[in-house]
């Protein structure tokens, strides 16, 4: 069963904010939300992660709803170089073995348009 649901694709105009949604309605209390992205011909790149509170770093902001059933990754000023597949991943904080590892879903193909 998929732990996260993301739209298959999205477009965003260059310079505008890109808001990428993720549904994780079955998330449990000890599971974090992680975001990675994969630019074409490169390996995935860590963006941000959070548990309950909203998080911000130099790349993006992560907004998690109060019930934690969904989240939004925000790229405040998208550039052409942000065109990539964005993966939302739910990962337990305390676990062992395979359950603790990153499991990628299908992701969202974000295309930033000039």
Q: Give CA–CA dist 47/38, Å, rounded.
A: 10
Residue closer to another protein by CB (options 34, 60) is 34
8 contacts another protein (rule: CB under 8 A): no
Alpha carbon distances (Å) from 72 to 49, 92, 101: 11, 19, 22
List binders of another protein among 79-98 (CB under 8 A).
87, 91, 97-98
Of residues 14 and 38, the one with the C-beta less far from another protein: 38
Q: Is 105 in the site for another protein (CB under 8 A)?
A: yes
SS3 annotation, 8-45: CEEEEECCCCEEEEEECCCCCCCEEEEEEEECCCCCCE
Do 72 and 63 contact (CB within 8 A), yes or no?
Answer: yes
Q: Which residues in 17-46 contact another protein (CB under 8 A)?
A: 32, 34, 36, 38, 41-46
CB of 13 to another protein, least distance (A): 25
Q: Which residues bind another protein (CB under 8 A)?
A: 32, 34, 36, 38, 41-46, 49, 87, 91, 97-98, 100-107
């Amino acid at each position: 069963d998929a732990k996260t649901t993301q739209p298959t694709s999205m477009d965003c105009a260059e310079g505008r904010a890109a808001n990428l949604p993720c549904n994780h309605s079955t998330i449990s209390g000890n599971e974090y939300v992680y975001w990675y992205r994969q630019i074409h011909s490169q390996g995935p790149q860590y963006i941000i992660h959070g548990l309950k509170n909203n998080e911000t770093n130099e790349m993006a902001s992560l907004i998690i709803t109060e019930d934690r059933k969904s989240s939004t990754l925000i790229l405040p000023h998208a550039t052409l170089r942000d065109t990539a597949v964005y993966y939302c991943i739910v990962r337990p904080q305390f676990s062992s073995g395979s359950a603790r590892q990153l499991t990628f879903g299908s992701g969202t193909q974000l295309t930033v348009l000039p």
